[in-house]
Structure 1
Amino acid sequence: SIIPEAVRPLLALNPLIPLIQAWQGVFVQGVWPVWSSLLPLLGLSLLLAILGLRLFRQRAGDLVDEL
């Protein structure tokens, strides 16, 4: 890997790393991703989508006033 050892622990904090590694595996190495490694990202995505939808519905009236 070209990433220095000192920086690797910081990459573990990035929630997109499993997705990027899955894409690299498919397109560079020709292997299917380990789907279980993508489950935390799926959970985070669903949580943020639900929170965003909830916030949008709460503020929808204010958005019309601002536009």
Structure 2
Amino acid sequence: MDYNARMIIKTIESPCRGCSRLHEDRELCMRDCDKLDAFQKAMVKFHEDKVHWFSARLRAA
């Protein structure tokens, strides 16, 4: 992933902020949201090295 793509992902706000369904039922909205799922996958991919480090640290403890 090049630098510009990483910066775009890093500056994107959570899609929940502008969601019109959020006021109805937050838990239901978060469970069925394709935008939120894509956002979370992008964040994990961007921070993959930190996720692996944290996971290895937990296993070592």
TM tier, smaller: 0.3 to 0.5
Ranked by relative contact order (alpha carbons within 8 Å, sequence separation 6 or more), the top structure is: 2
TM-score, length basis structure 1: 0.36
TM-score, length basis structure 2: 0.37
